[in-house]
Amino acid sequence: MANDSEHPEASAGLLFSSAANCPTHHGTFKVRAVRDQVGLEHVIVYKGDLTGKDDVPVRIHSECHTSEVLHSLRCDCRQQLDAALEFFESEGIGVMIYLRQEGRGIGLFNKIEAYALQDRGLDTVAANSALGLEADARTYEVAVEILHILGIRSVRLLTNNPRKIEAFRQHDMRVQRIPHRFKPNQHNAAYLLTKQQKMEHFP
């Protein structure tokens, strides 16, 4: 992968922007955009020298407009994002790959439709099923490829989702898990419990 001072390059069908500084409430990070083969634009937020490193802290984070922009309390996505950046700052190294996979891959429109069904009593899995959609349609091949291009050989993955761990191992990435959970609130307690009971997320 190009150094921060080099021009954007294409690798394995991915186009990387130049790197820019990104000051946040959690610290100052580097940020790059990545355009994939179908034109979706993802974001890498990182800190420290990543090349050739082992056991790098990593968060693979899927877009959540309602939580991260509107501060909705129906899920814990914004807490997960903020806590990951805080962890990277404390460690002095880390990378977040922010994937454009709104609503666990079903898109914003369908996500709001599913929310409406949840308001009528369905849980998150049943709502997706009622719409003819998968409970979780996300994929992680782009994230794994980005990490390979970054030169990262093994990761400490901040996640509660065993599917992410398995996806990484299937692509020959060594993975240790860092639990990434938060105290539920009255609006998301049932949602988090459903993920444990029906989607096999770690408690």
Given 36, 76, 123, 136, the catalytic residue: 136
169 catalytic, yes or no? no
Q: How do residues 74-87 score in pLDDT, each as one tens digit?
A: 999 999 999 999 99
Which residues are within 8 A (CB) of 193 and not within 5 positions of it... i.e. 6 or more apart? 184
Neighbour tally for 25: CB within 10 Å: 8
**Distance of alpha carbon 150 from alpha carbon 173, whole angstroms:** 13
More confident residue, 82 or 10: 82
- Residue 148 three-state SS: helix
Its pTM stands at 0.91
Can you give the pLDDT at residue 95? 97
Residue 156 domain-assigned (yes or no) = yes
128 falls within a domain: no
Q: Which residues contact 186 (CB under 8 A, 6 or more apart)?
A: none
Amino acid 200: pLDDT:
82
Dihedral class, residue 184 (left if φ above 0, else alpha if ψ from -120 to 50, else beta): beta
Each residue of 135-172: pLDDT tens digit? 999 999 999 999 989 888 899 999 999 989 998 888 88
Exactly one of 32, 59, 104, 138 is catalytic; name it.
138
User: What is the rounded average pLDDT of the residues 1-9?
Assistant: 48
The 10s digit of each residue's pLDDT in 173-198 is: 899 999 988 889 999 899 889 988 88
Q: What is the CATH number of the domain that holds 40?
A: 3.40.50.10990
For the chain, what is the domain count? Answer: 1
Are 149 and 12 in contact by the 8 Å Cβ rule? The answer is yes
- The answer to whether position 112 is within a domain reads no
22: left (phi over 0), alpha (psi -120 to 50) or beta: beta
> Does residue 4 lie in a domain region?
no
Using one digit for the tens of pLDDT, what is the confidence trace for 92-114? Answer: 999 999 999 999 999 999 999 99
Please indicate, yes or no, if residue 67 is contained in any of the structural domains: yes
25-44 average pLDDT score:
95
Q: What is the pLDDT of residue 153?
A: 83
**What pLDDT, on the 0 to 100 scale, is given for residue 201?**
87
Q: How far is CA 130 from CA 30, 77, 112, 113, 133, in A?
A: 41, 23, 13, 10, 7
Flag whether 107 is in a domain. Answer: no
- 66: CB partners within 8 A, 6+ apart: 72, 74, 75, 111, 115
Q: Quote the percentage of the chain above a pLDDT of 90.
A: 74
Residue 131 lies in a domain: no
Q: How far is CA 6 from CA 3, 33, 197, in A?
A: 5, 14, 47
Range of the domain at 186: 10-101+138-191
Tell me whether residue 168 is in a domain: yes
Dihedrals phi, psi of 96, to nearest 5 degrees: -110, 130
In this structure, are residues 35 and 14 in contact, taking their beta carbons and an 8 Å threshold? Answer: yes
How confident is the model at residue 44, as a pLDDT? 97
Distance CA 129, CA 47 (A): 39
2 pLDDT higher than 60: no
In sequence order, which ranges of 6-140 are alpha helices (DSSP H)? 65-68, 77-91, 108-119, 124-130
Q: Give the confidence band of 4 by pLDDT, cuts at 50, 70, 90.
A: low
For residue 136, indicate whether it is catalytic.
Answer: yes
SS3 (DSSP) at 26: coil
